Amino acid sequence: MKCSVSNSNPCSPQHFNGPSAPSPSLNFKPCSSLQYSPWSGLQAWRESPLNKNRIWGPNGPQSLVVDNCDSSIGSASSLAELGALVLSTSDPLTKSKLSHLAYSRWRRENLPLGSVSDPPSRLLGLSNPNCFDGLHSLAVEVSPKEIPAPKNSGLPLNAYMLHNLAHVELNAIDLAWDTVVRFSPFSEILGEGFFADFAHVADDESRHFGWCSQRLSELGFKYGDMPAHNLLWRECEKSSDNVAARLAVIPLVQEARGLDAGPRLVQKLVGFGDLRTSNIVARIADEEVAHVAVGVFWFVSVCQKMGRAPCSTFKDLLNEYNVELKGPFNYSARDKAGLPRDWYDTSSSKMQDKSDKQDKNEKLSLVYDRLASIISMESENSSLNRPPR
């Protein structure tokens, strides 16, 4: 881990020590907070009953009765401890199942949030094949450049794309639980709602991974049949010391990328003729809006607590943590999630600047025209009034 948060406050201004960080101010710049309007479905998502649609039936999501008596989570007495258990679980299918059991138990038994001061490293992401524990369902994690091209992967294109998505969903389970566990000592600052939202996200992600795994199996494959990239966990690790950076880097950049990629992936699967997989992907992409929305909500909230402008703070953090924004952007999905365009799209602010300049130039040219005509009239008048020689 890059840095521990156990001895410092991840919301404190000293965590914004990048060269371009603004000095603290209680007033937000008008470009940022005024343009933020939360996703309209946020409250309904928060209040929704436990989602038991763990399998993908003939016509879509279908509920599955889950055995709630898993002894492996019985020893935990708080949400943070439950999250730590999920992070410590290496087998992906078990992790996914435990994630749902942990969230269900926390809701059912109304357990406290609790606090884990030293979060466990997740037991996934085996870049060292010697660590392979024989479960045969773990994907070896490699750098993004080492991911095989579809034709060299040994998987048909639909299974290849689905495997990539399964990997993203599996990582997303850990990313959400890591956010819950790592920042649990700061619940008085962040508020319990923060942890409830990210545990809910973890539950959604486990359902998504379950659908992907099920469909991979229907296609004759399984998660782990090809290597996967280590990008997401790397981004998670580098934002471990700062809750605002975690929110900026994971939900607002990485998960928002999922919103951009979703429709393209659906179209490719339709083109490939795999409508069942395309329906699963479309449903997952739709449900990801909530996760970006949660990220935006809490990012704005953390900025408010620190007296920072969300728009410029987001940009400063991406600079400080060396995170690149890549289009093309799915503006409608990002708008729906409440992610303001001027936070991520430099062309939107350039366009605005250009239009402001154009407007200003047009106004100036009107003034010049008016001045020119006044001067010309005055000049004519003065020649009329000039006494003859």
> Which parts of this chain interact with Fe ion (CB under 5 A)?
169, 205, 208
**Minimum gap (Å) between residue 8 Cβ and Fe ion:** 31
Residues 6+ apart with CB under 8 A from 270: 278
CB of 121 to Fe ion, least distance (A): 22
Least Cβ distance, residue 259 to Fe ion (angstroms):
11
Give the bridge partners for 55, in sequence order.
62
> 54 vs 315, which CB is nearer to Fe ion?
54
Tell me which residue has its CB nearest to Fe ion: 208
| 141 bridge partner residues | 228
Give DSSP secondary structure letters for 279-316.
HHHHHHHHHHHHHHHHHHHHHHHHHHHHT--HHHHHHH
Pairwise CA distance, residues 306 & 302, whole Å: 6
Query: Beta-strand (E) ranges in 70-154?
Result: 141-142
Minimum distance from CB of 292 to Fe ion (Å)?
Answer: 11
- Shorter beta-carbon distance to Fe ion: residue 29 or 336: 336
Q: Judge contact between 207 and 176, C-beta under 8 A.
A: no
- The distance of closest approach from Cβ of residue 284 to Fe ion in the complex, given in angstroms and rounded to an integer, is 5
DSSP string, 1-37: -----TTS-TTSGGG--STTPPPP-SSPPTTTGGG--
Token representation of residue 7: 């001895």
* Residue 146 structure tokens: 């080492």
Least Å from the CB of residue 246 to Fe ion: 17
Burial class (CB in 10 A: 0-12, 13-18, 19+), 331: middle
Structure tokens at 27: 């007033």
